[in-house]
């Protein structure tokens, strides 16, 4: 299946606006949209009782400087997890986030846990927001594509693929999420040549972003959505 390339370049808040608020919190996501992001990117795990929650690491408060309780999400009930603060905020459920997103906003969901694809698809259906799913585990993207052929999927890469189109076709992926250091014009052209999209992550430098925009990247996932919004708008105005 071929996909049309999106224009202009999407500004995607990486876990929200993490330089102002703790990543993957409702405050962080709200701020990203306030700053002009078209979309936010987030991470999902599942609690012991099957509730999808938005958090990057499998264990809470595992970062340097964190002071709250460290609990393994997969071993904890959703009710108990609500009592675990992270940087003064509770860990939101995926349903919480989808309910808070503006009608025009897009949510890119990175699936971190295994065997929760059906639950993710069900949550997206119930949430009524524009969503797409991606993962480093390309089998997850393929399974989501099989469960919900209308739901855009993506694959994450931290290497320069020999055949990116083959990898995307194998996973049923619309989007290639590529580490920005490993993007060039040739890669963008290869992906676009098959009617698919390329999203750069995580780009925060203005000079890097100018190159990515010039090459035709479809999205820039960033910790600084305000800066990227200004760059994308300025490029579109030229």
How many structural domains are present in the chain?
1
Give the CA angle between residues 206, 31, 209 to the nearest 5°: 15
Assess if residue 5 is contained within a domain. Answer: no
Assess if residue 171 is contained within a domain. Answer: yes
Residue 40 in contact with residue 27, Cβ under 8 Å? no
For the chain, give the percent of residues with pLDDT over 90: 92
DSSP characters for 38-53? SEEEEEEEE-TTS-EE
Residue 38 in contact with residue 20, Cβ under 8 Å? no
Compute, in degrees rounded to 10, the torsion defined by CA atoms 194, 10, 55, 97.
-120
Assess if residue 217 is contained within a domain. Answer: yes
- Distance (Å, whole) CA 68 – CA 86: 6
Assess if residue 2 is contained within a domain. Answer: no
* pLDDT band of 65, cuts 50, 70, 90: confident
Q: Give the residue-averaged pLDDT of 208-215.
A: 97
Instruction: Please state which of the ranges 84-88, 125-129, 220-224 shows the lowest mean pLDDT.
Output: 84-88
SS3 13: strand
Assess if residue 1 is contained within a domain. Answer: no
The CATH number given to whatever domain includes residue 96 is 3.20.20.190
SS3 10: strand
The pLDDT, as a whole number, for residue 135 is 98
Range of the domain at 57: 10-237
The pLDDT, as a whole number, for residue 4 is 43
CA 58 to chain centre: 17
Q: Give the residue-averaged pLDDT of 36-47.
A: 98
Assess if residue 68 is contained within a domain. Answer: yes
Closest CA to 227 of 41, 40, 39, 35: 35
Q: Give the residue-averaged pLDDT of 127-140.
A: 98
Q: Give the residue-averaged pLDDT of 136-147.
A: 98
For the chain, give the percent of residues with pLDDT over 70: 97
Q: What is the number of residues in the chain?
A: 238
Closest CA to 177 of 198, 202, 152: 198
- 181 vs 237, higher pLDDT: 181
- Residue 73 DSSP label: G
Question: N- to C-terminal Cα distance for the chain?
Answer: 33
pLDDT at 3 over 90: no
Q: Give the residue-averaged pLDDT of 105-131.
A: 98
- Distance (Å, whole) CA 177 – CA 59: 24
């Amino acid at each position: 299946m071929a996909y049309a390339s999106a224009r202009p370049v999407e500004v995607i808040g990486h876990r929200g606006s993490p330089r102002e608020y703790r990543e993957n919190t409702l405050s962080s996501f709200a701020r990203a949209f306030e700053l002009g992001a078209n979309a936010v990117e987030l991470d999902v795990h599942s609690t012991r009782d099957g509730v999808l929650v938005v958090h990057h690491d499998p264990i809470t408060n595992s970062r340097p400087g964190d002071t709250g309780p460290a609990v393994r999400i997969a071993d904890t009930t959703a009710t108990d997890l609500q009592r675990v603060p992270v940087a003064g905020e509770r860990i939101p459920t995926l349903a919480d986030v989808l309910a808070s997103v503006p009608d025009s906003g897009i949510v890119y969901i990175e699936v971190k846990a295994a065997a929760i694809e059906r639950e993710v698809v069900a949550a997206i259906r119930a949430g009524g927001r524009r969503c797409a799913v991606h993962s480093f585990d390309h089998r997850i993207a393929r399974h989501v594509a099989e469960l919900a052929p209308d739901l855009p999927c993506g694959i994450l890469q931290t290497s320069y693929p020999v055949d990116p189109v083959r990898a995307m076709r194998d996973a049923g992926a619309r989007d290639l999420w590529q580490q920005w250091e490993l993007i060039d014009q040739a890669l963008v052209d290869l992906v676009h040549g098959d009617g698919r999209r390329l999203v750069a992550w995580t780009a925060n430098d203005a000079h890097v972003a100018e190159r990515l925009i010039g090459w035709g990247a479809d999205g820039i996932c960033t910790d600084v959505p305000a800066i990227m919004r200004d760059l994308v708008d300025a490029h579109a105005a030229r």
